[in-house]
Each structure stands twice: as structure tokens, then as C-alpha cells.
Amino acid sequence: MDIEELGQRITDGETWEAEILSVTPMIYIVRLLSDGRTVPLQEDGSNRVFRNVMDAGKALAASGLQAGYLVHESVDDEMSSGGAFGSSSTRTPIHFYGEED
């Protein structure tokens, strides 16, 4: 789904939740959730990539979403070479601000 379709669905009364996923310190993608389904935010058929959280939040605010989550996943094995604790993630609530905010 692209940002325009998301905006139209929100206008039509659908409820969507957004997660901004931190892939690397300079790559963020958005996962959209509604009624048990998950779809990526896309652009020209591929995952839409943002360079920072603020840009992702501005795009989501323009679609009509006001809040969502910043998700950072961490795999223990990458950091400690043991993987004793498996993978973990944080899901932090954030507010989306548009250009006029």
C-alpha cells in the first residue's frame, strides 16, 4: 500500500496502526497493521525507505495517522556471539507531526 492509498483508507473510516522499523541508523521502513493483517508501506512497488524517523512520521501524519510506534529489533547473537537471550525488540509509542506542526 502506498501513502495515498493509506490516506484514502483512513478517510473511508478504516483503522490503521503504523510501526516505523529501524533497519539501520539511516534506514527506516513502515509496517502498517489493521484487523490482523500487516502490509508494508510501499512506493513504486517496493518498500518505501526513509532516512530518519521524522521523515517517516511526516509522511504518516500527511496520510491522517497521528501516532504509532518506533520499533527497534536487536538480535542478541550479533552483540554477544552467544545468543543466550535470543532476539529482543523495543516498541516505543511516538506521535507523528506534519509540516505545519
Torsion of CA 97, 20, 7, 14, to 10 degrees: -110
Q: Which residues are registered as beta bridge partners of 29?
A: 21
Cell of 75: 538480535
Query: Which pLDDT score, from 0 to 100, does residue 87 have?
Result: 58
Q: Average pLDDT, stretch 79-92?
A: 64
- What is the pTM (predicted TM-score) of this model? 0.84
In this prediction, residue 2 has a pLDDT band, given cuts at 50, 70 and 90, of very high
pLDDT tens figures, 28-84: 999 999 999 999 999 999 999 999 999 999 999 999 999 999 998 765 545 555 555
pLDDT of res. 89: 74
Rounded Cα distance, 33 and 36, in Å: 7
> Which H or E element spans position 43?
strand 42-43
Rounded CA-CA distance 70/20 in Å is 5
